[in-house]
Structure 1
Amino acid sequence: MLHVQIVEPHADKRAAIKKMVQGMGHIVVGEACDREEALRLMEQGWPTLLLTDLMLPRLEGLALVRQVYEQRIPVVTIILSDSTRFDYVRQSMQAGAIDYLQKPVKGEELRRALRRAEERVVYFHGAHREFVQAQQFFERLDLLQPGEFIERHAEMIRSMQSFEGGQQGERLGLFRLLYAKWHYILKKRGLEFDEPFSWEGEDEAVAYFQRLCEFWIAQSASPADSSVKLNVKRACDYIRENYRSDHTLAEVSERFGMSISYFSVQFKKYTGYSFVNYLNRVRIEKAKELLLQPNHKIYEVAGEVGYDTLQYFNRVFKQHVHMTPGEYRRSLGI
C-alpha cells in the first residue's frame, strides 16, 4: 500500500485522481495545487509516492521531482502531463521519475504505474520505517519530559544514521525532511531557530540537531533542570561502570544526546568536575582499592583502571592523591 501525495492545480482533476488512487487500495495523505504547498505537505506527512502534474505551471512539477531526486528524499515520483513532448519525458526520467503518464490518466495505466511504484518503494523501506518512528516521536513531543526528550531524540538520530541499506546521500535526505519537520513544529509554536543547517555531511547534521534539541529544551515551558540532571547522573553511572575503556567527551555526550559544549557545561554544573577530571577521579579511586592488594603490581593496576602507560598513571595518581602509587602503599604499610 502506497501513501500518495497528489499535486494537481485543478481541483476537479485532483479529485478524480484521488478517487482512482483510493479505488486501487492506496491512501492519499496529501493534496496540493502547487510546488510550494506540495513541499510543505511533504514535510508534514512524509508520503511514499509523489504523483504530480508536470506544469503546476511553468514546469514547476518537473522542478519538484528534480528537487526530490537531488536531495535524495526517499519518495518515489510519477509525473502526469498533457504534453507528449519527448524532451519533457526525458527530463522527467533524468530527474528520477519512474513513469510519465499522459492526461487524462487511464485507470489501467495508473494501476501499472502504481505497481511499479510499490516495487520501487521496497528500496526505501528502511527510510519509511524511520518516518514512522519520527512521526511517533513528534506526536508525543508535548508529553516528553526533557530528559526523556533528549534520549528519544538521540535514539531517532542514531537510527536515521544506521537504517538498513541507507547510503550517505539517502540518510542526508532523511535529515532534510527531519529539518523541515522540526521547523514546521517550531513555526507553529512561534519559535525560530536561526542557525543555518549544514548539508556538508552526517556529522554536521547530527551536531545541528543536538543544538536544536537543546534550543527546544531551553524554550520549553517544562522544567528541564531535573531531567537534564538525571541524564548527567546516567552519564556518571556509565563512566563508573566502564572506567577501564577509553572515553572521550565527544563519545559520551553523543551517547546521551547532547552536543559537546552543552554536555560539558551541564556535567560541570551538576558534578563540580570537568569530564576528564571526573573520569580520572573514578579511575584513581578504583586504583586505590586495587593497591590495597599486595599481589597487584603497580603497572598491572595502571592497566586495570584504563591507563596505557605507567608514567601517565603515576602522574595522574599524584595529582589526585598528592603522592605516587608506591608512596601511597608505603603510607599504608603495604
Structure 2
Amino acid sequence: MYHIVVAEDEHWLRSELTEMIERIGGGFTVIGEAVDGEDAWNMLHELWPSILITDIRMPRKDGMELLRNMDDAGLPIVSIIISGYDEFDYARQAVRYGVSEYLLKPVMQDELKEALLKSRDRLELFKELNGCFKFINAFMERLPQSAAKERNTELNTVIQEIWRAQTVFPKSRKSALTAFEGKLTALILGMDADYIPSESPDWNNKEAVTGYFRAMLEVWSFKSRAVSGQEVRQVIRKACEYIENHYMQPLTLVKVAGQANLSPSYFGHLFKQFTGQSFIGYLNGVRIRKAKVLLMEEDIKVYEAAEMVGFISLPHFNRMFKTIAGMTPNDYRKGMGF
C-alpha cells in the first residue's frame, strides 16, 4: 500500500485528484488532504506518507517552500508537483529537491497514473529508510506496555536498524534519528515533563545516540509511572548515602548514576533539583567535611588527609578546601591550635 497526501488549496481540484487516485487503485490510497503548505507539512510528520502530490502555488507555505523543508529534514517521501503553464519554469527549479514528476493543469488521469507508477519505482530507493521508520513506529506503539529491560533491548534494535540503513538516501540516518527524537520529545512534553536532554548528540556517534535516547526514555518512564516526589527523593537519598560511604573512591557522575540505574544527564538533573547542588559540588562538600575531621588529628599531614578523602591532587584539594571552608587547610589547623 502506498499512502499519499494531497496538498491543494482549491477544493474542487483536491477532491478530483483524490477521486482519480481511488479509480487508479494499484495500492495507492489518499490518507490526507491538505488545504495549504503548512497543513501539508504537519500531515507529513503525523501520517508519514510515501508520496506527496502538491500544487506549486498555495497560501501560507507554497509548494516550493514545502519541498525545501522536506529536503532539509531528509524526509523519505517522493513528491509530484502540479503547476499551471505560467508556473512551469518556476516549478522546474524544484529538481534540486528531488521531485519525481511534474503534472500540468488540468491533470489527466492517465498522466497521474503514470506519475504514480514512476513514483512507486522510485520508492524502492527508500526501502531501507522506510524500514527504519516502521521500526520506530512499532517501538512507539509498544512503549506503553513494555518493561524497562524490554525497552532498552528494543531501543538497541531500533538504533541498530537505523545504523544499517543503506546510503542511497544520503540523509537517511539523520532523518530517521531526528524523526525518532521528535516523536519522543512530543510524547514527553505532552506529559508536562520539566526536563528533556538539552542538546542533541552527534548523530554519527552510535554510543552517544543510544545514551541520548535512553535518557529520554527514562524521563518518559518516570512521568508515565507518575513517580511521586517522595520516590524521587528516595532515589537521591540512596545516591547521597552511596557518596557518604564511598567518597574516598574515584567517584564520577556516571558511576553514581549507574548505581541509581539512571542516565548521567537525567540523574544530574534530579540530583540538583532535590539537593540544590550539583553532583560534583555535593561530592566535594562531603570530602571537605570528612577532611576537616582528619585534620583535627595532629599526626595526619595535609596531603595525607587529601588522599584519604579522595583527592589525587593536593593543589586541587587546597582550592576546594578554601572555597568551601573559607580558609586553607593550614589556616584551619592553626585555628584548631595546631
TM range (shorter): 0.5 to 0.7
1:268 is aligned with what amino acid?
A: Q
What is aligned with 1:221?
A: 225
Q: Are 1:123 and 2:114 an aligned pair? A: no
1:150 is aligned with what amino acid?
A: N
What is aligned with 2:112?
A: 110
Structure 2 gaps, min length 5: 232-251, 262-338
Which deviations, in whole Å up to 9, do the C-alpha atoms of 1:87-113 show, x marking residues without a partner? 313211122211121223110111111
What is aligned with 1:16?
A: 16
Structure (1 or 2) with the larger CA radius of gyration? 2
Q: Are 1:97 and 2:99 an aligned pair? A: yes
What is aligned with 2:180?
A: 178
Which deviations, in whole Å up to 9, do the C-alpha atoms of 1:141-166 show, x marking residues without a partner? 21112222222123212211212446
What is aligned with 1:268?
A: 259
Task: State the alpha-carbon separation in 1 of the partners of residues 36 and 45 from structure 2.
Answer: 15
CA contact (8 A) 1:54 1:81 kept: yes
* Secondary structure in structure 2 of the residue aligned to 1:100: strand
* Secondary structure in structure 2 of the residue aligned to 1:87: helix
Superposed, 1:153-164 pairs within 5 Å as 153-164=155-166
CA contact (8 A) 1:126 1:165 kept: no
Task: State the alpha-carbon separation in 2 of the partners of residues 191 and 104 from structure 1.
Answer: 50
CA 1:199–1:150 in structure 2 vs 1: closer, same or farther (change >3 Å)? Answer: closer
Task: State the alpha-carbon separation in 1 of the partners of residues 86 and 214 from structure 2.
Answer: 48
1:207 Cα deviation from its structure 2 partner: 4.3
Superposed, 1:1-334 pairs within 5 Å as 1-25=1-25, 26-57=28-59, 60-165=62-167, 169-191=171-193, 194-195=196-197, 198=200, 201-203=203-205, 205-221=209-225, 264-269=255-260
Which deviations, in whole Å up to 9, do the C-alpha atoms of 1:117-147 show, x marking residues without a partner? 0111000011111222222222222111222
CA 1:157–1:77 in structure 2 vs 1: closer, same or farther (change >3 Å)? Answer: same
CA 1:10–1:190 in structure 2 vs 1: closer, same or farther (change >3 Å)? Answer: farther
Task: State the alpha-carbon separation in 2 of the partners of residues 92 and 112 from structure 1.
Answer: 19
1:133 is aligned with what amino acid?
A: F
CA contact (8 A) 2:38 2:61 kept: no
CA 1:170–1:23 in structure 2 vs 1: closer, same or farther (change >3 Å)? Answer: same
What is aligned with 2:246?
A: none
Task: State the alpha-carbon separation in 1 of the partners of residues 60 and 256 from structure 2.
Answer: 52
1:75 is aligned with what amino acid?
A: I
Q: Percent identity?
A: 26
CA 1:136–1:103 in structure 2 vs 1: closer, same or farther (change >3 Å)? Answer: same
1:187 Cα deviation from its structure 2 partner: 4.5
Structure 1 gaps, min length 5: 226-259, 271-334
CA contact (8 A) 1:160 1:174 kept: yes
TM-score normalised by structure 1 residue count: 0.62
Which deviations, in whole Å up to 9, do the C-alpha atoms of 1:58-110 show, x marking residues without a partner? 66211111221233211111111234434313211122211121223110111
1:38 Cα deviation from its structure 2 partner: 1.9
